[in-house]
Amino acid sequence: MILPPSTLGMLGGGQLGRFFVAAAHELGYRVWVLDPDPHSPAGLIADRHLVAGYEDYAALDELAQGCAAISTEFENVPAGTLDYLAKFVVVRPSAAAVSICQNRIAEKNFLRQHGLPVANFVAVHQEQDLREASADLFPGILKVARFGYDGKGQAVVGSAEEAIAAFQHFKGETCVLEEKLQLACEVSVVLARDEHGLSKSFPTAENSHRAGILDVSLVPARASDALSSRAAELAGRIAERLGYIGTLAVEFFVVRGELVVNEMAPRPHNSGHYTLDACLTSQFEQQVRTLCGLPLGDTRAHSAAAMVNLLGDIWYESGPAGNRYREPDWAQLHAVPGLKLHLYGKHHARHGRKMGHFTVLDADPGKARELAMAARAAIGILDAP
CB of 148 to ligand ADP, least distance (A): 5
CB of 179 to Mg ion, least distance (A): 16
Answer yes or no whether residue 262 interacts with ligand ADP by CB under 6 A. yes
Q: List b or e across 282-303, with b for residues whose CB sees 16 or more CB atoms inside 10 angstroms.
A: bbbbbbbbbbbbbebbebebeb
Bridge partners for 193 per DSSP: 199, 246
Q: Are 248 and 239 in contact (CB under 8 A)?
A: yes
Answer yes or no whether residue 101 interacts with ligand ADP by CB under 6 A. no
Output the CA–CA distances (angstroms, integers) from residue 75 to 97, 148, 385, in the order listed.
10, 11, 28
DSSP 8-state symbol, 296: P
Answer yes or no whether residue 183 interacts with ligand ADP by CB under 6 A. yes
Which DSSP string corresponds to 332-374? HHHTSTTEEEEE---SS--TT-EEEEEEEEESSHHHHHHHHHH
3-state secondary structure at position 174:
coil
Answer yes or no whether residue 149 interacts with ligand ADP by CB under 6 A. yes
| Region of 173-181, 195-203, 307-315, 366-374 interacting with ligand ADP (CB under 6 A) | 173-181
Answer yes or no whether residue 180 interacts with ligand ADP by CB under 6 A. yes
The answer for residues whose C-beta is within 8 angstroms of residue 115's C-beta and 6 or more apart is none
CB of 154 to ligand ADP, least distance (A): 6
CB of 197 to ligand ADP, least distance (A): 28
Residues 229-268 interacting with Mg ion (rule: CB under 5 A): 251
Closest CA to 146 of 74, 84, 54, 70: 74
| Region of 68-76, 140-148, 195-203, 222-230 interacting with ligand ADP (CB under 6 A) | 140-148
CB of 215 to Mg ion, least distance (A): 13
Tell which one of 251, 277, 285, 362 touches ligand ADP (CB under 6 A): 251
* Chain contacts with ligand ADP (rule: CB under 6 A): 119, 141, 143, 148-151, 178, 180-181, 183, 186, 209, 212, 251, 262-263
